[in-house]
């Protein structure tokens, strides 16, 4: 697990002597920014972070600030290194007592939950109390929407291959708790081997839409493995922006050239290929989702040619 404190260069202000004029001058000049009343970090470091790492830095800072509360939900998922659907929500916290502090005592950007939290559901990560992986998934299942639930669960399965769906299901159903129907739903939808949160998102959208089609994941076709195969003839590939950042997968031109060669090979085998990205998964003001409308059109054309269901 990452040493987030060192990675973000977090500074615990309560450990800084009042005579340290340099630190307080940097705070005054905005070269250091406060994430909480007690935790600061270099402003230039914060600005260069992607959104998910800014949210992780805030989760770590809040975790270092609270005395008894345990970082939970999406914030805990970030500290465990799991993918999440959204980064801009409040930091979820749970008190082992199961109680909530008075509203006027809760700083902005934090959300306390009333829930039993036995000690076996708590671990410590570099001085921060965080819910265990299984408890984190359970809490996300109770507090978040279906897409966020599936992303988190499939993220655990991908990053922790020693854990199976059965192991996590046993942890989730080990004791009665609110929201058990929601838990069963996410375990029914989740699949091992899913490498991308965008792929999880896209698949749930398809399964929960009004489209009547078969959906297979991580299908091997020749030398290639595709994200999804719909009705045995439509391939759906979901791309993240980092694929073309010129670093993660190599030079952008090389990536595009290899991608085009791969797509041509799949098309020559008789498959249709739909390439989508994050914006295609977001609902429009009129209630439609670009991915679903693209797939609807492709299915209609295929069935007009006698393909698919």
Domain positions in the chain: 1-194, 195-309
pTM across the whole model: 0.85
Say which CATH topology domain 195-309 has.
Answer: Endonuclease; Chain A (3.40.960)
Q: Which two tokens stand for residue 67?
A: 């005395």
Q: Which three-class secondary structure state does DSSP give residue 96? A: coil
Give the DSSP per-residue string, 143-200.
HS-HHHHHHHHHHHHHH-TTS-HHHHHHHHTSS--TTHHHHHHHHHH--TT---HHHH
CA-to-CA distance for 259 and 255, rounded, in angstroms? Answer: 6
Q: Residue 267: which H helix or E strand, with range? A: helix 252-268
Give the tens place of pLDDT for each residue, 19-69. 788 888 999 999 999 999 999 999 999 999 999 999 999 999 999 999 999
* Cross-strand pairs, 276: 238
| Residue 205 dihedral angles phi and psi, to the nearest 5° | -60, -45
CA-to-CA distance for 32 and 114, rounded, in angstroms? Answer: 34
Residue 308: the pLDDT is 66
11-46: string of b/e by CB count within 10 Å (b at 16+)?
bebeeeeeeeeebeebbeeeebbebbebbbbbeebb
Q: Are 153 and 187 in contact (CB under 8 A)?
A: yes
Residue 176: the pLDDT is 53
Which residues, at least 6 apart from 153, have a Cβ–Cβ distance to it below 8 Å?
A: 137, 141, 168, 186, 187, 190
Residue 246: the pLDDT is 39
Residue 217 CA: distances (Å) to CA of 31, 118, 190, 225, 250: 47, 37, 11, 9, 25
Q: Are 278 and 240 in contact (CB under 8 A)?
A: yes
CA-to-CA distance for 181 and 241, rounded, in angstroms? Answer: 34
Q: Which two tokens stand for residue 157?
A: 């399965």
Residue 77: the pLDDT is 95
Question: Which residues, given as ranges, of the chain have pLDDT below 50?
Answer: 242-250
Residue 182: the pLDDT is 76
């Amino acid at each position: 697990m990452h040493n987030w404190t060192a990675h973000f260069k977090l500074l615990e202000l309560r450990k800084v002597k009042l005579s340290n004029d340099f630190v307080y001058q940097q705070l005054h000049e905005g070269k250091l920014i406060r994430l909480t009343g007690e935790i600061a970090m270099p402003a230039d470091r914060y600005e260069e972070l992607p959104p998910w790492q800014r949210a992780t830095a805030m989760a770590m800072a809040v975790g270092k600030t609270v005395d008894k509360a345990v970082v939970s939900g999406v914030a805990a998922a970030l500290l465990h290194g799991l993918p999440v659907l959204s980064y801009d929500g409040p930091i979820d916290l749970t008190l082992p007592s199961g109680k909530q502090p008075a509203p006027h005592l809760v700083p902005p950007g934090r959300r306390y939950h009333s829930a039993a939290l036995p000690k076996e559901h708590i671990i410590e990560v570099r001085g921060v109390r965080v819910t265990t992986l299984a408890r984190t998934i359970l809490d996300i299942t109770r507090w978040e929407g279906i897409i966020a639930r599936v992303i988190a669960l499939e993220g655990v399965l991908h990053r922790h291959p020693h854990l199976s769906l059965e192991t996590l299901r046993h942890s989730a159903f080990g004791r009665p708790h609110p929201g058990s129907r929601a838990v069963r739903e996410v375990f029914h939808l989740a699949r091992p081997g899913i490498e991308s949160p965008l792929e999880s998102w896209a698949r749930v959208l398809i399964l929960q839409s009004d489209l009547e089609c078969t959906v297979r994941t991580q299908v091997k076709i020749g030398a290639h493995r595709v994200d999804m195969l719909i009705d045995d003839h439509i391939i759906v590939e979901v791309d993240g922006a980092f694929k073309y950042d010129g670093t993660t997968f190599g030079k952008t031109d090389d990536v595009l050239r290899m991608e085009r060669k791969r797509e041509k090979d799949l098309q020559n085998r008789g498959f249709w290929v739909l390439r989508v990205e994050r914006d295609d998964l977001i609902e429009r003001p009129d209630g439609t989702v670009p991915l679903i409308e693209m797939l609807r059109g492709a299915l209609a054309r295929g069935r007009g040619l006698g393909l698919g269901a």
